[in-house]
Chain A
Amino acid sequence: MMIKNVWPPSVKISRVLPRAALATGLISICSGLILVFQYRPFDNVFAQVEAITTHIPYGWFFRRIHFLSGEACVVLTLLHVLDHFVRGNDRLVSLAEWARLWLASALAFFLLFTGYVLKGDKEGLLAGTILRNLTASIPLLGQSLGSVFIGSGPDFFFFPYLWHCWLGPLALGFLLRTHIRSWLPRGNFMLIALLLCGLGALFIPMPLALPPEAVVQEAYGPWFFLGIQELLKHFPPLWAGVVLPGVLALIFLSLPLTWGRVQQAARLSLFVALAGYTILTLALYVQRSL
């Protein structure tokens, strides 16, 4: 109950977040559709991405706006989920609906991750390799599961491409079909999202991309992966990369099934884990910037 009272009732953040997430999501899909015609997930992917950024007219703008809107969409979705988690709204939906939304949230992060891989730069390559190795560490299913997400050899980028550009967005739409009442957000949300993302794309450069041949002392994953990356340095991959996040995800998934003290314990553990992960990520960002 204490957690429930964190948000003051006067702030209607609960209404803003999903609409803003939808608006930024639509911008991301539209800009992504433009980019996908210039992208081939084979040969020198890094050179292609740099050609889009450097040579194709407005390519730089569409890359930036796609990146910013995609990131914004996932962050807003995360806050939207957090908002409902804090309010305890998980008790208001059925287990099937909760499971769909849970899967959609995970898929949103996966889309962000595959986008990170598809840059074709050093960090993208390393991130893809880490994901494949992590899934491979799962007993029995690991090898086959890994090859579903990340290819090998010349097909390295093909599976992330398939997920990021086609299967992922379609699956996301399917999972959210009953959750989103209207796929077209209100004009004011759309306008503000477009202007903010557009201005951001004008003035905020893309993160620097290291060529695949670059020699790096240490490579960093996407922001939401930094904590896991740090844990992987200290614990076995199966535990740090699969079991721990998997258990937390399962606890989150099973929230509608819990009640009383069990639910309180589950909520508390999730809250502590989330807070801890946020602090760890922020600390790593500070450490990197020093």
Chain B
Amino acid sequence: MKILPWILICLLLGAVLVTDMHRTDPEHSAKEKCLACHDDVSDPDPSHPVSALGCVSCHLGNAHSLDQDRAHAGMVKNPGDLRFADQTCGRTECHPDIVPRVRASIMATNKGILNTLYYHWETDEQPAAAPRDVPGMLEDANRLSLAEDQFAKMCASCHLWKVREGEGEIGLRGGGCSACHVVKKGRPQDDPTLASFTHSRLSIRIPADNCLRCHNRSARQGLSYQGLFESEGYGTPYVRGAPGTRRLSGGRFYMEGPADVHFEQGLACIDCHTHWELMGDGKEHEYMEEQTEATCEMCHDPEFEPLRSGDDLAESLIDLNRVVPQLESANIAYSPEGAPLYHFRSDGRQAVLFRKLDGKPVPMQSTDLSKPHHTLSGHERLSCQACHSRLMPQCYGCHLEYRQDRFQTDKLSGQKTRGLWKEGRSYMRLRTPILGIDGDEIRPFAPCQVFVSVFDRQGRHQPKDSKTIPAMTTFDPHTTRTASRTCLDCHLDPKAIGLGQGHVYGKKQIRFQPLYESKKSNFGLQIPPEAFVSLNGTQLQTTSRLTRRSFNQEELRAILRPGPCLACHDGYTDPVYADFDKSIGLIKTGNAPDCPVNTVDDSTPAQSTR
């Protein structure tokens, strides 16, 4: 029996010896042991070669272990995820300045959406809670107001903090840096051990599809830009007696219309929108428009200059882009905030915009802003979009149900909490935009109307808590056409100036007869849904910004005033518009005997028949 201990010890040592022979790989000299297993992985892009950066720089994990579990401990599947981006993309050696910008940007904070919801939900009984943003709401899962509850359950799948996982379009949204910069998802090759696989492809040449994953709802700029219009849910026009087959994500039907002229030229979103807008400028803005800097003038009335001294960003971007030609001696344009438009150049004779996605040149002609249609007196405040945005998607009367007797998943916390939000639509149109004032500019407006029906915990409708929010908002619809609206389109179209569809008439006293009598219908609105303003200048629908409003009475009068003249004098260069007050004076004093409009009385206040 005394030999038994020795036998046992020998057996133990033998087992240790055999195990050790199968465990270690002392000959593997790679800097990172990940490559001992994943030995055939494609590069994410030429700037991030696996041979130089390895895996751990981006994906973290344990570079020193050959054991699968130990090697993968702490690993991050998506390095762009904003929760980890400080240690991955944003590490000191790589892009430390960009990650804080992205985290503060409007696409990460969603402050624009939240502020609008706070504004609409604020009542005397329920004052808006202290405003929060997405990071704040991720940190604390308590929803402090109905606005936050609505955001968390309906809107919170489109922000950069969202974890990029799941199926369908929603599964591709979010993911921080990867939301934009992953241009092709990786895939394993025929190797169950994943020793060999195609890595997701990274690029700064971001296709419009990446933007469209989110920007295809609400204002629907992404769709409009391509000439797509999200139509009613009826599936019209029918094909062979059945609903049409043209569907967007979520089963939404669409129809085709004229695309934006820039889309027809093959321009992608990144050809106009600069890195300051897309990745933020480091400031936490309250609304999207504060972060947006792209202007029409940036390209259509540009100023070219040599590369600014110390601006190595332009050259870096050219190198990283790889399809836009090298700069050589050409001058480039800069955005208002100083972002280098490295793809937009001039050699002194010809301005050329090289498309960022494929490098193809698009010759550019500067817009002649001295032509009469751009200099006509009284039109100074018109934004480019007011005339050149030909169509604008308009949703009237979204119906929203808030049911306290049901539960719904909070998209930020992942928890199912009390309160279910359900959205329905009334009717949607693709029509010429309504015009209104934003700051000191005339801009296109579209309705953003919400009818909220609230149900209590017993499922009973609560009319007292329910509310109707008739609102108008302005955005660039991304439906730009070279040909602008005509004079008639504004001066004789009551809908364009915010009165709504109907008929303006009257000689001594201008009157307006709306096409649709909301009061007499059971629509729930006391005003026509398209009416932004009444003839006496009273604003009928709210906006979510103090700087936005409908035309006032004086402005309405000024717009309607030349209406009668347009039947004969329909050109910008017509001499009657050179000094319109003088022309009116001639009519009043009877010095324009041939003019059929001989009883102009512009001192009479406008009145509505409503």
Contacts and interface: CB of A to CB of B under 8 A. Distances in A.
Interface of A: 46-47, 50-51, 53-61, 122, 187, 191, 194-195, 198-199, 201-202, 205-206, 208-211, 213-216
24 contacts: A46-B64, A47-B64, A50-B62, A50-B64, A53-B65, A53-B67, A53-B70, A54-B24, A54-B25, A54-B64, A54-B65, A58-B20, A60-B23, A61-B16, A187-B5, A191-B8, A195-B12, A198-B16, A208-B70, A208-B73, A211-B73, A214-B61, A215-B76, A215-B83
Interface in B84-119: 84, 86-87
Interface string B1-33: 000010011001001100110011110000001
Nearest to A208: B73
Given A47-B64, A53-B65, A58-B16, A214 B5 contact: no
Contact of A209 (B60, B62, B63, B87): B62
B69 interface: yes
Contacts of B66: 54
Nearest to A215: B84
Contacts of B131: none
B74 A216 contact: yes
Contacts of A53: 65, 67, 70
B26 A57 contact: yes
A183 to B, nearest CB: 20
A55 B62 CA distance: 14
Nearest to B66: A54
A210 B64 contact: no
Interface in B20-62: 20, 23-26, 33, 56, 60-62
Given A211-B60, A215-B60, A202 B15 contact: yes
Interface residues of B, number: 31
A208 B64 contact: no
Contacts of B87: 213-215
Contacts of A187: 5
B16 A202 contact: yes
B89 to A, nearest CB: 13
A60 B20 contact: yes
Interface in B446-488: none
B64 A51 contact: yes
Contact of A54 (B15, B67, B69, B74): B67
Indicate the member of B65, B76, B87 with the most A CB atoms within 10 Å.
B65
Nearest to A206: B70
Given A60-B24, A202-B15, A214-B74, 8 more contacts: A50-B62, A51-B64, A54-B24, A61-B20, A208-B69, A211-B60, A213-B74, A215-B74
A54 B20 contact: no
Contacts of B5: 187, 191
A142 to B, nearest CB: 31
Contact of B73 (A51, A55, A199, A209): A209
B183 to A, nearest CB: 25
Nearest to B6: A191
A116 to B, nearest CB: 16
A211 B61 contact: yes
Contacts of B73: 208-211, 214
Contacts of B33: 54
B544 to A, nearest CB: 36
Contacts of A206: 70
Nearest to A195: B8
B19 A210 contact: no
Contacts of B60: 211, 213-215
Nearest to B8: A195
A211 B178 CA distance: 23
Given A55-B26, A211-B60, A214-B60, A198 B65 contact: no
